[in-house]
Amino acid sequence: MRIPVLTNLLEESDALANLNRQTFDAAGVFVVNLMSSPGAGKTTILAKTIELLRDRGLRCAVLEGDITSTLDSERLAPLGVPVVQANTEPFGGDCHVGSHFVKAALDHLPIHDLDYLFIENIGNLVCPAEFYLGEHRKVVVLSLPEGEDKPVKYPLMFRECQACLLNKLDLLPYLDVSVPLLRERIATVNGGLTVFPVSAKTGIGLGSWIEWLELGRTELQAAKCGVSVSTS
């Protein structure tokens, strides 16, 4: 039996991502695709990040990706920022956010009144790494309880990202985990990855992360004005 198949599904996905990127660039919105294992702390990090950026007068929105449920959107709603929930279950239960979800979400976001858009991807250290959504930066959150071996066991994610948040630093005294060893292993996979040890719970380390986000946005604005700025 033969059935028609789009052989260029990945190309279609990338084409949509490129359209998304054009929209983001034109609006001057800096977009971050946040990925991690389930429970690494993406939503808590986002809540703190949104507050810290707001303190600096910067406006954020969130695209929440989940297979099902609106639990994360409900956690972020009290912050008063625009949140769009994208659930993949009604569409086959995809294990990652697709560029078509991002494109659809843009209709529901005040894109011209934003400085940052955060895409909270589905909790999965494997599949989301394979898909470009149009974002300016890919960021992986690794929580310390997950252990030191993850960069080596899930190398694609760590290769694709530009920054890594090592979260749950507050638990370090109770774990058999070495941050230097973890850094070493990250470096063997991607020496260019910027690493931020943080605790979203206590707030420690988040200042450098916020500065990194601000530098990224400055770079985007400079590019829009035709100015080249080196921020990395």
What residues does 34 pair with on adjacent strands?
Answer: 120, 139
The pair of structure tokens assigned to 140 is 């992986």
Angstrom distance (rounded) from CA 112 to CA 114:
6
195 part of the interface to a second copy, by CB under 8 A: no
38 part of the interface to a second copy, by CB under 8 A: yes
Edge-to-edge strand order for the sheet containing 30-36?
83-87, 60-66, 116-120, 30-36, 137-143, 163-167, 194-197
Task: By CB under 8 A, name the one of 143, 162, 190, 199 that touches a second copy.
Answer: 143
2 part of the interface to a second copy, by CB under 8 A: yes
- Specify the residue, 17 or 157, whose C-beta has the smaller distance to a second copy: 157
79 part of the interface to a second copy, by CB under 8 A: no
- Specify the residue, 19 or 177, whose C-beta has the smaller distance to a second copy: 177
The continuous run of DSSP H or E covering 74 comes out as helix 71-76
- Specify the residue, 171 or 222, whose C-beta has the smaller distance to a second copy: 171
Instruction: Tell me which residue of 44, 91, 32 sits closest to 66, measured CA to CA.
Output: 91
Interface residue list for a second copy (CB under 8 A): 1-5, 7, 37-40, 66-69, 71-72, 93, 95, 122-127, 143, 145-147, 149-150, 152-156, 168, 170-171, 174-176, 201
